[in-house]
Structure 1
Amino acid sequence: MSRLPFELKPETDDERFMLEALKEAWKAFQKDEVPVGAVLVKEGKVIARGHNQVEMLKDATAHAEMLCITSGANALEDWRLLETTLYCTVEPCSMCAGALMLSRVKTLIWAAPDIRHGANGSWVDLFAKTHPTHQVTVRSGVYGEQAAELMRQFFKLQRKAKESRGDSPLEYN
């Protein structure tokens, strides 16, 4: 796979792990999937990775976060992902936010907002209300501009492809 279309020099652990999530997003981009990537970290090590595979798997639930959570549960041999941090290139949707709570991820760090589906305040905020059994700590903005640029470039290419086929660019879902 080719390299990311931008150069980053991480200076913090958060930047280092978000760079790994961006690499996952780039894999999705190259497969014509919405470029979202995620990594799950425990004790300073990446234990799971995921990128969107909705189109490839023909599965609306095959989001980067969901695949990463499943992979992490397999790696830990436990569905409870206690003391883990999930780094995601885009603000999670409500499905993924719920899965983060249910799987007991301790911390979520996301890069770019998602105004259409974001569940941390861009559309709704599922993390604002205290959960009865588990509260996820959330931070955002690490490499947000780079993650947003991947999304912009992806959808720009998707619109061009639709137009060249004669499809209305407004029909994109």
Structure 2
Amino acid sequence: MLILTKMGLAQPHTLHNKLVRQLWAIERLHSICSQIMCRLGSISVTTAADNSVMNFMKLAFAEAKGALARLEVPVGCVIVKDGEVIGRGSNRTNETRNATRHAEMEAIDMVLCLWQQSSTAHSDNVSCEGFQQCDLYVSCEPCIMCASALSLLGFRKVYYGCGNDRFGGCGSVLDMHSDGCAPCGLSYDQAEAHEVQKTRGFECVGGLMADEAVALFQGFYENGNQNAPRPHRPVRIEKSPKLGL
């Protein structure tokens, strides 16, 4: 049977193919709309999460700027639990003449003191399990010492700014954030020379506000570390037009 159309006579299979193409186009349009709606939903959620992360990073950088004002190496951090800052710290190595008083250690001690004060148990028996629900935000990649401490305490996640090529414990030098032996940073099967101390490891996200972190270090070292012993204090090189500097 022939079908009469405005264009003339058309075979049945021609009309069928046209309907199939129209249905395919409708389904394709529906699929595209669904993908757009899903992406819009994901974007809104991701943006909210990203904003929260960046807000905490800015608080860590505020601590780092405070350290810079005190002529300390400009590193700062905050510890967050359930969306609230429960600890903060910045470098105090020059002030205390103690090379272990890094920002992370200062913040951890602040949290431990807080838990000791609020604990009904004896102060010597404060549990560190609460750190497993904590995230740490720091302006520079934690050093090997600090990353090992964070792993032992069971921190959930660490966000940091610039990398630490000389002492970084989150991938730049050693992978202290990975599951393995805390003292040496090696995997369990490689750590055979001593008693293995297992850690749960933690997730790392680096490169947040990295340029700002580098700028803080440049500002600190531009005139040399004023608190460093003179033989180790870098000499500032004056610009010379003859050398084109």
The answer to whether the superposition gives a TM-score over 0.5 is yes
1:110 and 2:176 are equivalent in the alignment: no
Contact 2:148 2:169 in 1 (8 A): no
Correspondence for 1:79? 128
Name the amino acid aligned to 2:200: H
Equivalences for residues 1-173 of structure 1 within 5 A: 12-77=51-116, 78-80=127-129, 81-130=131-180, 132-158=198-224, 169=234
Alignment length, in residue pairs?
158
What is the CA-CA distance between 1:148 and the residue it aligns to?
1.3
Q: Which residue of 1 aligns with 2:6?
A: none
3-state SS, counterpart of residue 86 of structure 1: strand
The separation in 1 between residues aligned to 2:154 and 2:54, in whole angstroms, is: 23
Name the CA shift for 1:168/1:121 in 2 (closer, same or farther; >3 Å).
same
| TM-score, normalised relative to structure 1 | 0.82
Contact 1:33 1:54 in 2 (8 A): yes
What is the identity percentage for the equivalent residue pairs of Structure 1 and Structure 2?
A: 32
Q: Distance in 1 between matches of 2:132 and 2:169?
A: 21
Tell me which moved more, 31-40 or 144-153: 144-153
Using the alignment, how far apart are the partners of 1:31 and 1:43 within structure 2? 31
- The one-letter code of the counterpart of 1:156 is E
Change (3 A) 1:94 1:19: same
Contact 2:64 2:74 in 1 (8 A): yes
Distance in 2 between residues matched to 1:91 and 1:167, nearest whole Å: 23
| Greater CA drift, 31-40 or 137-146 | 137-146
Which letter maps to 2:219? Answer: Q
Q: Please list every run of 5 or more consecutive structure 2 residues that lacks an aligned counterpart in the other structure.
A: 1-49, 117-126, 182-197, 236-245
Contact 1:108 1:136 in 2 (8 A): yes
User: What is the letter of the counterpart of residue 37 of structure 1?
Assistant: G
Decide whether the 8 Å contact of 1:69 with 1:103 is kept in 2. no
Contact 2:73–2:91 (CA under 8 A) maintained in structure 1: yes
Structure 2 Cα separation of the partners of residues 33 and 51 of structure 1: 9
How far 1:69 sits from its partner (Å)? 1.1
Query: Structure 1 residues 98, 133: closer, same or farther in 2, change over 3 A?
Result: closer
Report which structure shows greater RCO (CA 8 Å, sep ≥6). Answer: 1
Query: 1:74: Cα distance to partner?
Result: 2.2
